Amino acid sequence: MTPGAPEPLAREELRAAVRAFGLKGPVRFESIGRGASRTVKGRLTAGDARFMLKRRPVEAMPAEHAAFLHRFQAFLRSHGVPVPALARTVEGAPEHRTEGAAIELAEWVEGARWSRTEAEAASAGAVVGRMVAAAARFDPGPAPPGISYHREGTFAGVGGPVLESAMRADPGCDPASLRAAIERLGSLGLEAWERAESTRFAGEGPRPACVHGDLHPGNAVFGDGSVRAVVDFDSVRIDHRACELAAALLHFSNHPMQGEDPAAWREDLDLARMRAFADACAGALGAPLSAPELAAIPWLMIESCALETLVPVARTGRFAQVRAERAIPFMVRKCEWIARHVPSALSRRS
């Protein structure tokens, strides 16, 4: 088994979960897990009912953290955000927990992957706006998670560990050119942090609140040009809404990065999609972002882009399956493109 890959769902474990949730009828489970996450995901069919099953190791999700996530999802759903309903066990719990794993079932929402249209981007922006507006009224309790990607010191000393990990994964890389690319991406991230801080967006905007933390097209279910559901709330945390919206704008404006050849990737963003998302989001929020928030977003986008590249390379030596010596120079060009084009594109939306 690949290190970090999900463990298969044992038949007896599946039977125990079916009993715990009181399901009836013939049962079928189809794994749909992707990547190297230890979380197992799949479609569970029991009679006429269908669910998204998610199984996590207990050490990855303590019971109190899971309860917090479940409460937040229920709150959003009650406020009109399209979040799948969680099934309850026969004892009324939102998950079945054993010594080794926790299993939850959410209603299965039929739909499709996103096709990168402006209509879908606008629908996503409207849903995200409703989510952010609703989350501002949510009481997170005394000790919610709060790890923003925008924090001081994030890029300090990042170059060494990233380079070492990349060289272990691919010893044939040219260390000098790779080091230069890593240092350039880190410097772009640090400069972006400083530029975002200079706007004072954190002090001028609303107080931090719960955010989804991982808004991208892969965590949305689409159908007929609109978002039918937002899924995967494992990264929920307390953060500034500008950080949430900047990362979402980046992902919903990106061009696909398919295949393992960065030479075929596009470093620019789709500005029409970005504008459609931003306008619909502002409409759902009920008011435009403050001027400091709007000024900070391009730099927060660069921070997010840089960290989403450097962190996985530091962990595994590669960006997905792509060699660091190829992926990191591409991300440098992407961040430089954002710095040149996005500030003026967003300023025209104010």
Instruction: Indicate if 101 and 210 belong to the same structural domain.
Output: no
> Does 3 fall in a domain?
no
Domain boundary among 49, 84, 107: 107
Q: Per mean pLDDT, which of 29-38, 95-104, 148-157, 189-198 is the most reliable?
A: 189-198
Supply the DSSP symbol for 350.
-
Instruction: Indicate if 232 and 102 belong to the same structural domain.
Output: no
Domain boundary among 55, 76, 107: 107
Is residue 196 within 8 A of residue 222, CB to CB? The reply is: no
Instruction: Indicate if 122 and 94 belong to the same structural domain.
Output: no
Average pLDDT over residues 126-155: 94
Instruction: Indicate if 209 and 308 belong to the same structural domain.
Output: yes
> Does 6 fall in a domain?
no
Calpha distance 249→220 (Å, rounded): 14
Range with the poorest average pLDDT among 32-41, 167-176, 203-212, 321-330: 32-41
Per-residue model confidence (pLDDT) at position 36 = 46
> Does 183 fall in a domain?
yes
Instruction: Indicate if 76 and 174 belong to the same structural domain.
Output: no
Calpha distance 99→63 (Å, rounded): 11
pLDDT-derived band at 120 (thresholds 50, 70, 90) equals very high
> Does 2 fall in a domain?
no
Instruction: Indicate if 230 and 339 belong to the same structural domain.
Output: yes
Instruction: Indicate if 198 and 220 belong to the same structural domain.
Output: yes
- Segment (H or E) for 42: strand 40-46
Assigned token pair, 153: 């010191």
Instruction: Indicate if 125 and 23 belong to the same structural domain.
Output: no
Give the residue numbers spanning the domain of 36: 11-107
> Does 5 fall in a domain?
no
Query: What's the pLDDT tens digit per position in 263-298?
Result: 889 999 999 999 999 999 999 998 888 999 999 999
pLDDT-derived band at 23 (thresholds 50, 70, 90) equals very high
> Does 4 fall in a domain?
no
Instruction: Indicate if 154 and 82 belong to the same structural domain.
Output: no
Instruction: Indicate if 84 and 170 belong to the same structural domain.
Output: no
Is residue 253 within 8 A of residue 226, CB to CB? The reply is: no
pLDDT-derived band at 3 (thresholds 50, 70, 90) equals very low
Assigned token pair, 69: 């996530």
Instruction: Indicate if 38 and 177 belong to the same structural domain.
Output: no
CATH, residue 62: 3.30.200.20
Domain boundary among 88, 107, 126: 107
> Does 257 fall in a domain?
yes
Calpha distance 336→211 (Å, rounded): 27
CATH, residue 312: 3.90.1200.10
> Does 51 fall in a domain?
yes
Split into its structural domains, the chain has a count of 2
Q: Burial level of 105, CB count in 10 A (0-12/13-18/19+)?
A: buried
DSSP states of 214-256 as a string? --SGGGEEEETTEEEEE---TT-EEE-HHHHHHHHHHHHHPPP
Instruction: Indicate if 123 and 99 belong to the same structural domain.
Output: no
pLDDT-derived band at 35 (thresholds 50, 70, 90) equals very low
C-alpha 244, offset from chain centre: 9
